[in-house]
Structure 1
Amino acid sequence: MQQLNSLINEARQLTRPHEEEAKRVMQVCNACRYCEGFCAVFPAMTRRLSFSDADIHYLANLCHNCGACLHACQYAPPHEFAITVPQTLAKVRLETWQRYAWPARFGALYRHAGVTSALALTLSLSLFLLLAVALRGGLWHPPLAGDFYQIFPHNLLAILFGGVFGFGLLALIVGVIRFWRGVSGGTPRPPAALEAARHALTLTYLDGGHGEGCNDEDDRYTLRRRRFHHFTFYGFMLCFAATVVATGYHYLLGQPAPYPLLSLPVILGTLGGIGLIIGPAGLLWLNLRRAPLHGDEQQKPLDRAFCLLLLLTSITGLALLAGRDGPLMGALLAVHLGVVMALFLTLPYGKFAHGFYRCAALLKDAIEKRRGK
């Protein structure tokens, strides 16, 4: 407990310098306004004459980190002003997630999440479940026709995984509500909500403000990052839809799993799994290539851990689908469930949070534009 308290105090002490630097950067940008036609950050910036902490938190989460402003800026390094908008706002963005996290003590987990901890968690959970399968009847068993519930009972899986996912979702929602109140988000109206949803679903601001895309390792524009984000997001949503449909089949239609290969849950899950291979693998590749000034180097382990867990979830899920009629189905199921549980445990205090906070920032931006300056 003392170590956790010291981590929290350390995070709070680091917050102020990042916020003050962001205020300095925004003041310079507000005087220059060369990038005013770029992403939503700069029009939102021009609606302010000064910047409070709440303004900085809002603008940091509105930033999509496309990198276009860095290469357009005449005051970027090696200029003495050293204006690096993507990197500066990325540092503040992590601090806002820590500040508004719920429960508050868990906010320090953002700073210490990474590839090593994610892999260690995944390995330990998978080994535990493999041991459980071995004790129940062995890792090699007669074909079970894809009936997962002969390995782990349905109610046990529903309670464990539903409970963990539900807590993660609750923690993120409470955190975003605290963020919304902290930045004085206002009252959403249907037109503003629809506009924010459109920008979120199409990733409008990953086009660099000119439609040609983001900057990755240099000043060349590319739409790769936007496309890989789309594969990731819609792949995840298809997998979620597959789970929802399967739940409806089970409870409403009285049709428990397994389902045929051409059934709706399997088709949705397969398409989602393919998306979650292409998207996270591409984002992981881009993360390894991105220039240091395009983001916060200290957050790269956080980014990579999330991409890696999504990628492993998809690979093990598709492997389970391919081998569900074989004698190793129990072992494949144990490994897949271990990866999924690790993903669920890290969701509320990992990179997954950026989608929730960014949607809230987009909604505030849509509300502000209707108010004027």
Structure 2
Amino acid sequence: MSEARVIPIVPLGAAQAEVERVLTICNACRYCEGFCAVFPAMTRRLSFPAADVDYLANLCHNCGACLHACQYAAPHEFAVNVPQAMARVRGETYADHAWPAALGALYKRNGLVLSLALAAGLALFLLLAVARQGSLWQAVEGGNFYAVFPHGLMVSLFAPVFLFVVFALAMAVRRFWRGISPGAASAEAVGEAAHDALRLRYLDGGHGEGCNEADDRYTLARRRFHHFTFYGFMLCFAATCMATLYHYLLGWQAPYGVTSIPKLLGISGGVSLVIGTLGLWRLNVKRHPAQGDAAQRPMDRGFIALLFLTAASGLVLMLLRGTPALPLALCVHLGAVMALFLTLPYGKFAHGVFRVAALLKWAIEKRQPNTLGVGE
């Protein structure tokens, strides 16, 4: 006879306890049940252990609809604020599941000033290295930036960092995944989770009109700027992958023409990223403090700033490729890219990875029998 799996009881932290409190109230009210996936998932539970709190917090997209609709929000004595409570737990989730664990504290320090200082420091290091060679301000034949930094050197700098980022994020999500015990994933569940993640389905406030920002007005701005940012990032990544195939598989050496596939992908991705990050920055500055965790805003803005700096410097580099300013622009761009990648496992980027895992958990869970017989 096989032994039943024993799930250890983990004491709730202060932020988790607040989520447990507000969800217990929400579970009795259920006015917001149709707003997003959090509330149907909530109704499948009568209690909220630490793993379930972490799961529901990462399933929340912070659209703000439930806060504006809640009859128990402040100034009511219950002071229910689901978006803020969930946001605080999400921040702790990233730190608690970070790999290596000792680096989890970086989430609290990864702010705007640190991000920009890191990008500036790396760019300065590269500028000094190029200046020492006496080639900081000179035209490069054909706009070939590999004449400034050889291809082999670029690969040796970025490949280890990229592999570490992928491995660190995979290990963090693995820890999160084991804690929430989601069960087996079917192809149908994986497809639904991917569909919901790519469409940002739950940034529509449950009614298709969008998020609440500083007031009761609904807007799709957050959803649209998130799409510009995400798909811009993916287009830039696709451009890098295509250039890698050109170099290693086809033997075509950079630089590539403006009408080449890597350049078209990179330009469109860069423009999309600039639009998206400018929009998200504006919304982040304007959003009411009650609709999130104010302590995480430096981390949010640091990530947005690095994405913008990476995209904008890449576009400027393309425009200056035929001028003596190319080495200078290249150093600034590479400094921004390196800073972005070094902070990816311990910054706001993690929220997208954990959110996809939570969406997959929900897609699996909703296909399982509801033992409570409620919320269906």
Within a 5 Å distance, the mapping from 1:243-322 to structure 2 comes to 243-322=240-319
- Map 1:1-373 onto structure 2 (within 5 A): 16-373=13-370
Conserved? CA contact 2:139–2:326, under 8 Å: no
CA deviations 1:31-82 (Å, max 9, x no partner) are: 0000000011000000111111111000000000000000000000110000
- TM-score normalised to structure 1 length: 0.95
Q: Post-superposition shift, 1:185?
A: 2.0
CA RMSD in angstroms, aligned pairs only: 1.0
State the TM-score, normalizing by the size of structure 2.
0.95
Rounded Cα–Cα distance in structure 2 between residues aligned with 1:314 and 1:150? 22
The offset of 1:155, in angstroms, is 1.0
The alignment-based identity, stated in percent, is 62
Residue 205 of structure 2 aligns with an amino acid whose one-letter code is G
User: Tell me, what secondary structure is at the counterpart of 1:371?
Assistant: coil
Point out the structure with the larger helix share: 1
User: Residue type of the partner of 2:83?
Assistant: P
Amino acid in structure 1 at the alignment position of 2:145: F
Q: Deviations over 1:79-124 (max 9, x none)?
A: 0000000000000011111111100000010011100101110111
Q: 1:187, 1:153 → 2: CA distance? A: 46
Between the aligned partners of 2:253 and 2:170, the Cα distance in structure 1 is: 31
Distance in 2 (CA, whole Å) between partners of 1:355 and 1:143 is 39
Match for 2:255: what amino acid?
P
Corresponding pairs, count: 360
Structure 2: distance between partners of 1:152 and 1:99: 38
Change (3 A) 1:15 1:346: farther
Pairwise CA distance, 1:188: 1.1
Q: 1:365 to 1:73 in 2, by over 3 A?
A: same
Instruction: Determine the C-alpha separation between the residues in 2 that align with 1:23 and 1:143.
Output: 61
Q: List 4+ stretches of structure 1 deviating above 3 A.
A: none
The change in CA–CA distance for 1:15 and 1:251 in structure 2 (over 3 A counts) is: farther
Deviation at 1:15, TM superposition (A): 7.0
Helix, strand or coil at the partner of 1:359: helix
Runs of at least 5 residues in structure 1 that lack an aligned partner in the other structure: 1-13
Unmatched tracts of structure 2, length 5 or more = 1-10, 371-376
Q: What is the rounded CA distance, in whole Å, between the counterparts of 2:356 and 2:253 in structure 1?
A: 35
Deviation of the 1:217 alpha carbon = 1.0
